[in-house]
Amino acid sequence: MKLWQKSFEISKEIENFTVGKDREMDVFLAPHDILGSIAHITMLETIHLLTGEELNILKKELIALYRETEQGNFVIEDGVEDVHSQVELMLTRRLGEVGKKIHSGRSRNDQVLLDLKLFIRKEIETTVHLVKALFDTLIQLSEKYKQVLIPGYTHYQIAMPSSFGLWFAAYAESLVDDLITLQAAYRVANKNPLGSAAGYGSSFPLNRTLTTQLLGFEQLNVNVVYAQMGRGKTERIVSQAMANIAATLAKLAQDVCLYISQNFGFISFPNELTTGSSIMPHKKNPDVFELVRAKCNKLMALPNEITLITANLASGYHRDLQLIKENFIPAFEELNNCLNITNYAINQIIVKEDILEDKRYEHLFSVEVANELVLKGTPFRDAYRIVGEQIENNTFNPPKKVHHTHEGSIGNLKNDVIASEMDKVLKNFPFEQVNQAIHKLLQID
C-alpha cells in the first residue's frame, strides 16, 4: 500500500532501492505517528472535516494501536511503504471508509517531520535521565576520593598534582555543559511542524495552534516552507548535542584505559568487569571502556554525515533526507547504552590511594615549591630558576602536600556549585508539561 498509489505499478527494483531501510526505521516512529494522528483528527473535527462520532471511533482505535506499539506488537507489513501507510491501512481494515479520512490536510512530509520531532523529544528525555544518573555517580566519587592525589598531565608528561576529586568532578561539570547544548537542541525539536503539509500549507482551514497545544509543543514552526527546511537541520542540531555527550564519555573512557594500564596503575576494576586474553593469562582488559570510546567516536561523526547529506539541497523536500533516519534514529540507543554501561562500570572503580609515593612523580611538586618561595618574598622568576636548578642537580626533595584553596581546586572542589548548575539545567527541560499533554491526548473523552 502506498498513499500516493495511482493506476500504474512502480518497478520492483526502483521500489526496493527507494524504500531502503524506511520500514525498519519507521517502527521506531510508530507511536509518535499515532499520537500525531490523534491530535490531527481532534483538530479536523473542530473544522468540520470529521463528525464528532467519526472522531470518537477513530480516536478509540488509534489509542488501541498506540497500546499495541507499547507492547511491541506493531509491524509494517511487506508491501506497505511506511508507518503512515500502515496506520491508515490498519484503521481502514478495522473501521472501513472512515479510516481513510485521517489524511485530510496532511502530507507524508509533515507527518514524518512531526514523527521525528516527537521521537526526538522522547529520546532526549531518556538521555537526560541517564546523564543525570552518571553525573550523580561522578559527584559522589569526587567527594569520596577528594583527598587522593594523582598526577596531572600536559603533553602526556607529568605536570602538577591533581586528585581523583578533581578528575571525577571535571567530567561531572562537562556533562552540565553537554545538557545545556542538548536543551537548546530540544527547544529546536519542540516546535510543531504539523499543518505544513508538503511544505506549502493547505487550503483547509487548519488550526495549527490547537495541534501545537494538544501535542505539548512549546510553539509552532510558523512558516510552512521553513518547517520543511527543518528536516535534516533538526537532526543535525540534535546529533551535535549528542556528540558533545559522546565526546565527554569518550575522553573519560580514554582516561580509564590509560589509568588502568600497568604503566599508570591508578585504578582497577573487579575481575567481572574486565576481559582476558586467549594466550596471555595475566591480562585484564578494559574492553567496556574501549568500546564506549569507539562507539562515542562514531557518534561524533554523525553531525558531519548529516551535514554532507543536506549541504547542497534547495528548499523543499528531497528524498535524500530519508537516509538521515538510518543512522540518526539508532544513535539514541547507542548513546544511551554507553551512558548506562559507563555509569554501571565507573560505580565499581577501585582507586589506588598511594600513587604519589612513587619517586617518578616527585617533580609534580615543582610549582608548589616555587610558589612557597614566592610567598616568602622571592620573585617568581627567581623561584622558578632555583627549583629548576635543584631538579637538574638531583637535590629536589619536595614535601608532598598541596595547599590549594581557590574555587574549583584540589582543596575547594565546589561540587555543590556544580550540582546546583545541573539542577538549573534540568529544571528548564519541560518534560512534565509535555508528558501531561500526551497523557491527556490518550484519554478517551
pLDDT single digits (tens) 8-18: 465 666 666 55
Distance in angstroms (rounded) separating the CA atoms of residues 24 and 345? 32
Give the pairing type, strands 350-351 and 267-268: antiparallel
pLDDT of residue 363: 83
Architecture of the domain delimited by 109-146+163-196+221-356+414-434 = Up-down Bundle (1.20)
Q: For residues 39 and 358, which has the higher predicted lDDT (pLDDT)?
A: 39
Torsion (CA) 317, 326, 37, 226 in degrees, nearest 10: -30
Distance in angstroms (rounded) separating the CA atoms of residues 221 and 207? 13
CATH topology agreement for domains 12-104 and 109-146+163-196+221-356+414-434: no
Q: Which position has the grid cell 511487506?
A: 78
* pLDDT tens by residue, 376-424: 888 989 888 988 888 888 878 887 788 888 999 999 999 999 999 999 9
Distance in angstroms (rounded) separating the CA atoms of residues 417 and 27? 42
Sign (positive or negative) of CA dihedral 371, 373, 378, 380: negative
> Percentage of residues in the chain with pLDDT exceeding 70?
93
Distance in angstroms (rounded) separating the CA atoms of residues 7 and 395? 93
On average, the pLDDT of the chain sits at: 91
In a 13 Å sphere around the CA of 381, the CA atoms on its Cβ side amount to 0
Cell matching residue 442? 490518550
Strand, coil or helix: what is 160? strand
Distance in angstroms (rounded) separating the CA atoms of residues 192 and 351? 49
Residue boundaries of the structural domains of the chain: 12-104, 109-146+163-196+221-356+414-434, 358-411
Strand, coil or helix: what is 227? helix
Per-residue pLDDT, averaged over 224-237, amounts to 97
Per-residue pLDDT, averaged over 292-301, amounts to 98
pLDDT of residue 9: 62
Distance in angstroms (rounded) separating the CA atoms of residues 212 and 191? 8
- How many other C-beta atoms can be found within 10 angstroms of the C-beta atom of residue 205? 10
Residue 285 DSSP symbol: B
Model confidence, pTM: 0.91
Residue 150 DSSP symbol: E
Give the pairing type, strands 149-154 and 157-163: antiparallel
pLDDT of residue 374: 84
The CATH classification number of 12-104 equals: 1.10.275.10
Question: In this structure, are residues 172 and 135 in contact, taking their beta carbons and an 8 Å threshold?
Answer: yes
Distance in angstroms (rounded) separating the CA atoms of residues 110 and 112? 6
Distance in angstroms (rounded) separating the CA atoms of residues 445 and 441? 10
Q: How far is CA 125 from CA 54, 249, 420, 426, in A?
A: 34, 18, 20, 10
